[in-house]
């Protein structure tokens, strides 16, 4: 007969769960992007992402605090993709394992370099006035119409100049 969990066990599990959620939610989209870069079929990428999420949770005790959770997660994701590819090797639409490993390495390097570009863009956007941020949002948000902003009386659009100078 196994002893029932103590309050200390429950507290530790709760702390582990919160720690995992904090780390995982920060990088979840990037991890999915990494997987999707190697499995361009959304359904396959989603399946592998779900499996990878479970493995990350189960192996959380192997993560070294203070290191990059994203890099650690990508190494696990790469193995999950390779496992998926092995099981789906009957399908001729998949690339070789060597090519996939090279693509994975390139994707990690791309993500590293895009981080600084994203920070610079966020800094630039924070310098814009509210109306310019709204305009920029309208350019990238399908639910808004750019016409609504263009018709505002007395509105001068200097957004491209401001962003270019930044």
- In three-state secondary structure terms, 13 is helix
Architecture of domain 7-114: Orthogonal Bundle (1.10)
Total-model pTM: 0.51
| Mean pLDDT across the chain | 79
Domain boundaries, the chain: 7-114, 128-166
Tokens at 75, concatenated: 């190494």
Q: Are 38 and 81 in contact (CB under 8 A)?
A: yes
Q: Please list, in sequence order, all residues whose beta carbon lies within 8 angstroms of the beta carbon of residue 88, skipping any fewer than 6 positions away.
A: 44, 94
pLDDT at site 125: 79
**17-71 per-position pLDDT tens digit:** 888 888 999 999 999 999 999 987 899 999 999 999 999 999 999 999 889 999 9
pLDDT(156) > 60: no
pLDDT at site 45: 94
Burial class (CB in 10 A: 0-12, 13-18, 19+), 103: middle
Q: Please list, in sequence order, all residues whose beta carbon lies within 8 angstroms of the beta carbon of residue 64, skipping any fewer than 6 positions away.
A: 72
Q: Confidence class of residue 76 from pLDDT cuts 50, 70 and 90?
A: very high
**109-132 per-position pLDDT tens digit:** 777 777 777 777 778 878 877 877
Q: Please list, in sequence order, all residues whose beta carbon lies within 8 angstroms of the beta carbon of residue 46, skipping any fewer than 6 positions away.
A: none
pLDDT at site 17: 81
Q: How far is 8 from 87, CA to CA, in rounded Å?
A: 41
């Amino acid at each position: 007969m196994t002893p029932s969990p103590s309050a200390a066990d429950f507290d530790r599990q709760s702390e582990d769960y919160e720690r995992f959620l904090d780390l995982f939610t920060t990088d979840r989209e990037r991890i999915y992007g990494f997987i999707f870069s190697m499995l361009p079929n959304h359904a396959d990428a989603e399946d592998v992402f779900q499996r990878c999420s479970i493995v990350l949770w189960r192996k959380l005790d192997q993560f070294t605090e203070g290191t990059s959770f994203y890099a650690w997660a990508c190494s696990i994701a790469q193995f999950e993709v390779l496992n998926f590819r092995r099981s789906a090797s009957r399908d001729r639409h998949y690339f070789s394992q060597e090519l996939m490993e090279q693509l994975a390495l390139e994707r990690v390097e791309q993500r590293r370099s895009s981080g600084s570009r994203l920070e610079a863009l966020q800094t630039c956007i924070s310098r814009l006035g509210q109306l310019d941020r709204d305009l920029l949002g309208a350019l990238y948000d399908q639910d808004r119409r750019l016409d609504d902003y263009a018709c505002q009386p007395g509105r001068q659009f200097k957004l491209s100049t401001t962003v270019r100078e930044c």
